[in-house]
Structure 1
Amino acid sequence: MAQEPDAPQAPPTAPTAPARALLPFILPAAVVGVGASLVFIGVSTAAEQLQHVLWGPLPDALGVGRYSVPWMFVMLIATGVAVGLVVWKVPGHAGPDPATLGLNAPALPPVVLPGLVLAAALMLAGGPSLGPENPVIAVNVGLAAWLGARVMPRTPGTLWPMLAEAATIGALFGTPVAAALVISEALAGRPMQGRLWDNLFAPLTAGACGAITTTLVAHPTFDLGLAPVGHPDAEDVLAALVIASAAAVLGMCAVYVFPYVHAAFRRLRHPMVMLPAGGVVLGALGALGGHLTLFKGLSEVGELARHPDGWSAGQFAAMAVVKLTALLVAASCGFRGGRIFPAVFVGSALGLCAHALVPAVQPAVGVSTAVLGMLLAITRQGWVSLFTAAALVASPAVLALLCIASLPAWLLVTGRAQMQLREDGTPVH
């Protein structure tokens, strides 16, 4: 009698780490979380105070309009000069070329960090269209790696950058969920020992401590206050698919142009030429798009959301294109900053443009799906894109639409060039 073939064996389940193996990570993760949040709050607060002076009492005292065209040019060129001096003269030169860095920053030596903090704060206050995320993550990763190696030398060196990245993302978004999603995405490409949640335990602790510290001190919110989405219908699904895909295509246009704009500024060679030249271009873009297209864009997105019918479709489209171009220029000429927050502004303006063109498109649907498509193209971070888009609209019903809309948008961007360059100027794929 023939024997039946053996049934296929299920793959062995990874063993769960005992609690005693995870408990020693709680304290260092908590310290990194609180410290990363305080660094983020400190840099942001200092930049906001300086911005208030530069764009308020100072032009008032000089008898110049706060957002007049001449003052935009003066401030953006002066910011280019100030950041150029930091990159040129301060030890460490404010870190490597920001066009070569993403969210997963390398552990920079301590000598680089003061200059990077100063360059980021000056940029945030002066008006270029970049956010704080990349330089703050780099600073926190460098600090955590340097201090961790001295305080706990037996701890694996790879732990500290992961804790610092998770803590900073938790602090930036005011919730550890974003940190857990980003770290789980990063872990997917690495060999792991044990269960996923065992590997996430320490980063999630750091992210939670970073998020709660920011929440207690700064009270951040991403909710734009748009009318919530009701029960989605077929028109909402169609709008989500079209808007997210269109935003992804526009974002990819900027991604493909990025190496050429970067190469054009690199030909100027010296930071005291590249950065002021970038300031001139950004001043012209600010004059074209108006003051809402300046700065990192988060407060300005709130202004758009408070008046979703306050501009025409053409004006929304113009602001989106100007802001995306300003992001492209600021990231190419050497300003130290991240791309998530200005990309959120671009997506929000595109979503409100869709609403202005087709009033049946709900503002919340247009904004969230356009932000999703834009962030997928600019960051290539699926979880960050989904989370950020959902956080802007306090509506559970929008989650299903975002998941559906992410599918064609991801097909448009995956496997293609990213908005990050190698040392030789070629794009990362």
Structure 2
Amino acid sequence: MAADPPPPAEIPPAGPSSAATARAGTTPVHRLLPVIVPALAVGVASALVLLGISLLAEKLQDVLWGTVPDALSIGRHSSLWTIVVLTACGLVVGLLVRMVRGHADPDPATTGLVDPPLAPGVVPGLLLVTVLTLAGGISLGPENPITAANIALTCWLGRRFAPGTTAELWISLAAAGTIGALFGTPVAAALILSETLASHPGPGALWDRLFGPLAAGTAGALTMTLLAHPSFDLSLPPYTHPHWGDLLSSVVIALAGAVLGLTAVYAFPYAHRFFRALKHPVPALALGGLLLGLLGALGGHLTLFKGLDEVRVLAADPSGWSAGQFAVMAVVKTAALLIAATCGFRGGRIFPAVFVGVALGLCAHALFPSVPVALAVTCAVLGVLLAITRQGWLSLFTAAVLVGGAAVLPILCIASLPVWLLVTGRPQMQLHEDGTPLR
């Protein structure tokens, strides 16, 4: 077994095949035009897969957290029901992981957002456990498994219907289409993939290489926007004018978020080693579900699920909780993310990290009301995401879109500099196959 997982796939020039790009006299326009239709198709299909899985998860969530407890006359978010549902979810997911073909993807602690394609036969089991994870209240998002499923299906179909094309082309299109759909904008896909391009330089101008992925990301984002109307804007009081005092507060809050995120990062391999010692997915996931249920009972129902709907509840009433309550929610969600990502549940870490940052930012605002709430939230989200994802553009973009304004961007850029000095070169929240962390 290899010590390292495969690196993120390199994104080639946006043309139909490596042979085509090598033909003498072929202009960039001739290389780029043939990829438009496949890119648009992949973007639309990627968004539909995401939307379909999300809708299935929402329907099952309504049953688990509404229909069943109401029929049993049990409080929907009582401590008892929270513990029962999450423990049962862990047990069922563990059984499915044990039984389905391919065991529903490799160990999720060793996978990133964009990885080499899985075998197509793994996809049904992966999507099934993803639905259960999202519906059961597990503190993980859909981004990693949905991206992996879309990459696997796109590569399989693309290579069948266009044998002369490269797998890297289809990987880039599927990843961009899914990320565009997740965030409702192709900008997110372009920013994330540009970091991959920077670490894997290749021939051609940057925009030539991003042409196909940008088309796919646009198609995915438009499809999701037209069908589901996603929004990340928390409708917080706008941040309009930077002040000198904001420089210090932004750096302090962002660093606090990074420290909290790094705490989970450093604990990641130890938690993973603990669950791996159980040597079987059923007890590992059942125990993980039980621990998550106990954490949910401690932190309240807002600390469950992927966190996007829950942060809107927090942001709608920043004065509705005390600083201590916000701090408890941030710590509980961090611990829940750590356990869910190491015990074997399939899911992404970006959206739960956003919840951690929002709760921490609201805590900072509650402690120091002179700090604008929009600034406190965005800086905390920036710090947490930089520590957990190590994606600079993604972190800046996600933090900024939460408040829907550009005035906060200069402050965020300043705050990102000391945070990056803190997190760069440190372990990442992803492991090699031997259990050691990536750096």
- In the superposition, the TM-score normalised over structure 1's length comes to 0.96
Of 258, 282, 289, the match for 1:272 = 282
User: Are residues 328 and 16 of structure 1, via their aligned partners in 2, closer, same or farther at CA, if it must alter by over 3 Å?
Assistant: farther
Identity %: 64
Distance 1:337 1:208 in 2: 24
- In the alignment, residue 225 of structure 1 is paired with which amino acid? S
Question: In the alignment, does 2:408 pair up with 1:398?
Answer: yes
Question: Hey, what does 2:342 align to over in structure 1?
Answer: 332
1:105 match: 115
Partner Cα distance (1:345, 1:329) in 2: 16
Secondary structure of 1:80 counterpart: helix
Cα shift at 1:191: 2.7
What corresponds to 1:342 in structure 2?
Answer: 352
2:320 corresponds to which residue?
310
- Say whether 1:57 aligns with 2:67: yes
In structure 1, which of residues 26, 39, 44 is the aligned counterpart of residue 49 of structure 2? 39
1:139-190 Cα deviation digits (max 9, x unpaired): 0010111111101110122111111111110000000000011111100112
Q: Could you tell me how far apart the structure 2 residues matched to 1:369 and 1:16 are?
A: 47
- Alignment counterpart, residue 244 of structure 1, candidates 225, 238, 254: 254
Aligned to 2:6: none
Task: Please name the residue that 1:22 is paired with.
Answer: 32
Alpha-carbon separation, structure 2, partners of 1:312 and 1:105: 41
Distance in 2 (CA, whole Å) between partners of 1:250 and 1:412 is: 12
Indicate the SS of the match to 1:336.
coil
Partner of residue 4, structure 1:
none
Corresponding residue number in structure 2 for 1:193: 203
Distance, in Å, in 1 between the alignment partners of 2:339 and 2:433 is 18
Equivalent-residue separation in structure 1 for 2:388 and 2:56 (angstroms): 27
Q: CA deviation at 1:348?
A: 0.2
Q: 1:353 aligns with which of 359, 363, 379?
A: 363
Alignment match, 1:123: 133
Larger Rg: 1
Distance 1:16 1:323, change over 3 A: farther
Q: Deviations over 1:220-257 (max 9, x none)?
A: 00000001102100111211111111110111011000
Check whether the contact 1:166–1:204 (CA below 8 A) recurs between aligned residues. Answer: yes
Give the Å deviation of 1:17: 4.7
Uncovered stretches (5+) of structure 2, i.e. residues with no partner = 1-24
Residues 65-100 of structure 1: CA deviation (Å, up to 9, x unaligned): 000111001100110011111100011110100000
For the pair 1:285 / 2:295, whether they are aligned, the reply is yes
CA deviation map 1:10-53 (0-9, x unaligned) = xxxxx995312110000111111000000000111100111011
Does the 8 Å contact 1:17/1:194 carry over to 2? no
Residue of structure 2 in register with 1:413 after alignment: 423
Q: Secondary structure at the match of 1:134?
A: helix
2:371 aligned partner, one-letter code: V
Deviations 1:260-310 (A, max 9, x none): 001001011111100000011001101110000000000000000001111
Aligned length: 415
Which runs of 4 or more aligned residues in structure 1 lie more than 2 Å from their structure 2 counterparts after TM superposition?
15-18
TM superposition score normalised by structure 2:
0.93
* Aligned counterparts of 1:422 and 1:156: Cα–Cα separation in 2: 26
Aligned partner letter, 2:122 = V
> What amino acid sits opposite 2:141 in the alignment?
G
Q: Provide the residue aligned with 2:151 in structure 1.
A: 141
Once superposed, what is the RMSD of the aligned Cα atoms?
1.0
Q: State the secondary structure of the residue aligned to 1:231.
A: coil
Distance 1:396 1:226 in 2: 14
SS in 1 for 2:412: helix
Q: Residue in 1 aligned with 2:95?
A: 85
Deviation readout 1:101-148 (Å, 9 max, x if unpaired): 111122000110000000111000001100000000000010111111
1:379 maps to what in 2? 389
Query: Alignment partner for residue 173 of structure 1, among 153, 176, 183?
Result: 183
- Partner in structure 1 of residue 19 of structure 2: none
